[in-house]
Amino acid sequence: MITFIESDVEEAAFGWQTAYGPDIGPDSPRAESDNYGQAVLERQLRDALARLNPSLPVSALHDALRKLIQPGGDAEGSQSLLSQNAGQRRYD
């Protein structure tokens, strides 16, 4: 029986590369984040948005990045990620 792990599927389907967290942590030579609390790799997300949407103006790309990183809208009106996640979970 052939066994697949999630990273195998991601690499095959999306061309994604996986990395061991500490190897790309903020205190490593290959750092991809500013700190360990950073859940989203902003530079990589920004690059991917630009690559996938080459015709969008820079302002639209910045807006998309902001909405992805800070779901719920602008800083004043946004829900916390915790409350937003709770709102997505419906238990009937």
* pLDDT reported for residue 5: 83
**Is 22 among the domain residues?**
yes
Worst-scoring range by mean pLDDT, 1-5, 13-17, 56-60, 77-81? Answer: 77-81
Residue with tokens 């599927």: 9
Please give the pLDDT value at position 77: 47
CA distances from 20 to 25, 34, 44, 64 (A): 9, 16, 16, 28
Average pLDDT over residues 60-86: 72
Residues 44 and 69 placed together within one structural domain of the fold: yes
64 and 33 within one domain: no
Domain count, the chain: 2
pTM value surpassing 0.95: no
Q: What is the pLDDT of residue 80?
A: 66
> What is the rounded average pLDDT of the residues 39-66?
91
**Dihedral sign computed on CA atoms, order 8, 13, 17, 22:** negative
Name the percent of the chain lying above pLDDT 70: 76
- The answer to the question of residue 30 being in a domain is yes
